Chains A and B, each alone.
Chain A
Amino acid sequence: AQKITQTQPGMFVQEKEAVTLDCTYDTSDPSYGLFWYKQPSSGEMIFLIYQGSYDQQNATEGRYSLNFQKARKSANLVISASQLGDSAMYFCAMRESPNFGNEKLTFGTGTRLTIIP
Chain B
Amino acid sequence: DGGITQSPKYLFRKEGQNVTLSCEQNLNHDAMYWYRQDPGQGLRLIYYSQIVNDFQKGDIAEGYSVSREKKESFPLTVTSAQKNPTAFYLCASSIDSGVVVSDGYTFGSGTRLTVV
User: A residues within 8 Å of B by Cβ?
Assistant: 4, 9, 31-33, 35, 37, 42-45, 47, 50, 52, 91, 95-98, 103-110
Q: Taking CB as reference atom, which chain B residue is nearest A52?
A: B102
Q: Do B42 and A50 touch (CB < 8 A)?
A: no
Q: Do B97 and A45 touch (CB < 8 A)?
A: no
A98's partner among B44, B97, B109 (CB-CB below 8 A) is B97
7 contacts between A and B (CB under 8 A): A9-B40, A32-B101, A33-B102, A45-B105, A98-B101, A105-B104, A109-B42
Q: Do A91 and B101 touch (CB < 8 A)?
A: no
Task: Count chain B residues whose beta carbon lies closer than 8 angstroms to a beta carbon of A.
Answer: 27
Known pairs A47-B104, A104-B58; A91 contacts B42 (CB<8 A): yes
A108's partner among B42, B99, B106 (CB-CB below 8 A) is B42
User: B residues within 8 Å of A by Cβ?
Assistant: 33, 35, 40-45, 48, 58, 88, 90, 92, 97-99, 101-110, 112
Determine the chain A residues whose CB is within 8 A of the CB of B110 once the complex forms.
Answer: 43-44
A109's partner among B41, B48, B109 (CB-CB below 8 A) is B41
Q: Do A45 and B41 touch (CB < 8 A)?
A: no
Q: Do B42 and A103 touch (CB < 8 A)?
A: no
Specify the main secondary structure of chain B where it touches its partner: loop
Determine the chain A residues whose CB is within 8 A of the CB of B58 once the complex forms.
Answer: 104
Q: How far is the CB of B15 from chain A (nearest CB, A)?
A: 25
Determine the chain B residues whose CB is within 8 A of the CB of A52 once the complex forms.
Answer: 101-102
Determine the chain A residues whose CB is within 8 A of the CB of B103 once the complex forms.
Answer: 95
The residue in A32, A33, A105, A106 that gathers the most chain B C-beta atoms within 10 A of its C-beta is A105
Q: How far is the CB of B45 from chain A (nearest CB, A)?
A: 6
Determine the chain B residues whose CB is within 8 A of the CB of A106 once the complex forms.
Answer: 45
Q: Do A44 and B109 touch (CB < 8 A)?
A: yes
Q: Do B33 and A104 touch (CB < 8 A)?
A: yes
Considering the chains assembled together, what is the distance between the CA atoms of A106 and B92 in angstroms?
A: 13
Q: How far is the CB of B112 from chain A (nearest CB, A)?
A: 8
Determine the chain A residues whose CB is within 8 A of the CB of B112 once the complex forms.
Answer: 43
Q: How far is the CB of A110 from chain B (nearest CB, A)?
A: 5
Q: Do B45 and A104 touch (CB < 8 A)?
A: yes
Q: Do B101 and A44 touch (CB < 8 A)?
A: no
